[in-house]
Structure 1
Amino acid sequence: MQFSKYTKEFRTNTIIALPIMLGQLGHILVALADNLMVGQLGAAQLAAVSLGNSLVFIALSLGIGFSFAITPLVAEADGAADIEKGRLHFHHGVIMCAVNGLLLFVILLLAKPILYMLDQPEEVVALAIPYLEIVALSMIPLMIFQGFKQFADGLSQTRPAMYATLLANIVNVIFNYILIYGIWGFPRLEVEGAAWGTLISRFFMVVLLVVMLRKQEKFASYFYWGNNEHIRLEEFKVLFKLGFPTALQMLFEVAIFTAAIFLSGILGTNAQAANQIALNLASMTFMIAVGLGVTATIRVGNQKGKGDFINLRRIAFSIFLQVFLIEALFAVGFILLKDFLPPFYIDNPEVILLASQLLVVAALFQLSDGIQVTILGALRGLQDVNIPTAICFVAYWIIGFPVSWYLGKAKQLGSQGIWLGLLAGLTVSAILMYWRFNYLTKKLIIKNQKRLS
Structure 2
Amino acid sequence: MNISQYTSEFKYNWKLAAPVMLGMLGHTFVSFIDNIMVGQMGTAELAAVSLGNSFMFIAMSIGIGFSTAITPLIAEADSSDNLKQARATYKSGLFLCTTLGIILFSGVYFSKPLMYLMKQPKEVVELAIPYLDLVAFSLIPLVIFQAIKQFSDGMSMTKYPMYAALIANVINIVLNYLLIFGKFGFPEMGIIGAAYGTLISRIIMVIYLWLLLRYKERSAQIVRNIKFFVLDVLTIKKIVNLGSLSAMQMLFEVAIFTAAVWLSGLLGKNPQAANQIALNLSSMTFMVATGLSVAAMIRVGNQKGLQNYKELRRIAFSIFLLGVLLAMFFALLFFVFHKSLPMIYVDLNDTANYIDNMEVVSIASKLLLAAAFFQISDSIQVVFLGALRGLQDVKIPTILTFISYWVIGFPVSYYLGSEEMYGSFGIWLGLLAGLTTASILLFIRFNSLTLKLIKEKK
Structure-2 residue corresponding to 1:425: 434
Cα deviation, 1:132-186, whole Å, max 9, x if unaligned, reads 2222222221111111000000011111111111101112223333444455555
- Structure 1 pair 406/292, CA: closer, same or farther in 2 (3 Å)? same
SS at match of 1:111: coil
Of the structure 1 ranges 312-321 and 187-196, higher mean CA displacement relative to structure 2 is found in 187-196
Equivalent AA in structure 1 for residue 326 of structure 2? I
- Structure 1 pair 36/134, CA: closer, same or farther in 2 (3 Å)? same
- Whether contact under 8 Å (2:49, 2:131) holds in the other structure is yes
The question of 1:206 aligning with 2:215 is answered no
Deviation (angstroms), 1:202: 1.2
Deviation (angstroms), 1:267: 4.8
Rounded Cα–Cα distance in structure 2 between residues aligned with 1:39 and 1:340:
16
Deviation (angstroms), 1:413: 4.3
- Structure 1 pair 264/47, CA: closer, same or farther in 2 (3 Å)? closer
Structure-2 residue corresponding to 1:59: 59
Rounded Cα–Cα distance in structure 2 between residues aligned with 1:261 and 1:310:
42
Structure-1 residue corresponding to 2:388: 379
Structure-1 residue corresponding to 2:34: 34
Deviation (angstroms), 1:358: 3.8
- Structure 1 pair 33/310, CA: closer, same or farther in 2 (3 Å)? same
Deviation (angstroms), 1:405: 2.6
Deviation (angstroms), 1:350: 6.2
Cα deviation, 1:301-333, whole Å, max 9, x if unaligned, reads 011011111110100000111111111222233
Equivalent AA in structure 1 for residue 113 of structure 2? P
Equivalent AA in structure 1 for residue 371 of structure 2? A
Equivalent AA in structure 1 for residue 53 of structure 2? N
Structure-2 residue corresponding to 1:441: 450
- Whether contact under 8 Å (1:342, 1:356) holds in the other structure is yes
The question of 1:365 aligning with 2:374 is answered yes
Deviation (angstroms), 1:43: 5.1
C-alpha RMSD of matched pairs (Å): 2.6
Match for residue 407 of structure 1 among 399, 411, 416: 416
TM (norm. structure 2) is: 0.90
- Whether contact under 8 Å (2:374, 2:432) holds in the other structure is yes
Of the structure 1 ranges 41-50 and 28-37, higher mean CA displacement relative to structure 2 is found in 41-50
Rounded Cα–Cα distance in structure 2 between residues aligned with 1:210 and 1:119:
42
Rounded Cα–Cα distance in structure 1 between residues aligned with 2:294 and 2:160:
15
Equivalent AA in structure 1 for residue 299 of structure 2? R
Structure-1 residue corresponding to 2:351: none
Deviation (angstroms), 1:269: 5.6
Structure-1 residue corresponding to 2:76: 76
Equivalent AA in structure 2 for residue 408 of structure 1? G
Equivalent AA in structure 1 for residue 69 of structure 2? A
Equivalences for residues 189-338 of structure 1 within 5 A? 189-224=189-224, 230-267=230-267, 271-338=271-338
**Which runs of 5 or more structure 2 residues have no equivalent in the other structure?**
349-356
Cα deviation, 1:181-220, whole Å, max 9, x if unaligned, reads 4555555544433322222211111111011111211112
SS at match of 2:222: coil
Of the structure 1 ranges 58-67 and 358-367, higher mean CA displacement relative to structure 2 is found in 358-367
- Structure 1 pair 8/237, CA: closer, same or farther in 2 (3 Å)? same
SS at match of 2:392: coil
Equivalent AA in structure 2 for residue 82 of structure 1? N
- Whether contact under 8 Å (1:13, 1:319) holds in the other structure is yes
Deviation (angstroms), 1:117: 2.6
- Whether contact under 8 Å (1:79, 1:304) holds in the other structure is no
TM (norm. structure 1) is: 0.91
- Structure 1 pair 199/359, CA: closer, same or farther in 2 (3 Å)? closer
Of the structure 1 ranges 415-424 and 360-369, higher mean CA displacement relative to structure 2 is found in 415-424
The question of 1:23 aligning with 2:23 is answered yes
Equivalent AA in structure 2 for residue 284 of structure 1? M
SS at match of 1:219: helix
Rounded Cα–Cα distance in structure 2 between residues aligned with 1:14 and 1:328:
17
Equivalences for residues 109-148 of structure 1 within 5 A? 109-120=109-120, 124-148=124-148
- Whether contact under 8 Å (2:120, 2:262) holds in the other structure is no
Percent of aligned pairs with the same amino acid: 56
Structure-2 residue corresponding to 1:157: 157
Aligned pair count?
448
Cα deviation, 1:238-265, whole Å, max 9, x if unaligned, reads 1110111111111111121122233344
- Structure 1 pair 178/336, CA: closer, same or farther in 2 (3 Å)? closer
Cα deviation, 1:49-89, whole Å, max 9, x if unaligned, reads 33332222211111111111101110111121212111111
Rounded Cα–Cα distance in structure 1 between residues aligned with 2:258 and 2:193:
27
Of the structure 1 ranges 380-389 and 44-53, higher mean CA displacement relative to structure 2 is found in 44-53
**Which runs of 5 or more structure 1 residues have no equivalent in the other structure?**
none
Higher relative contact order, structure no. (Cα contacts within 8 Å, ≥ 6 residues apart): 2
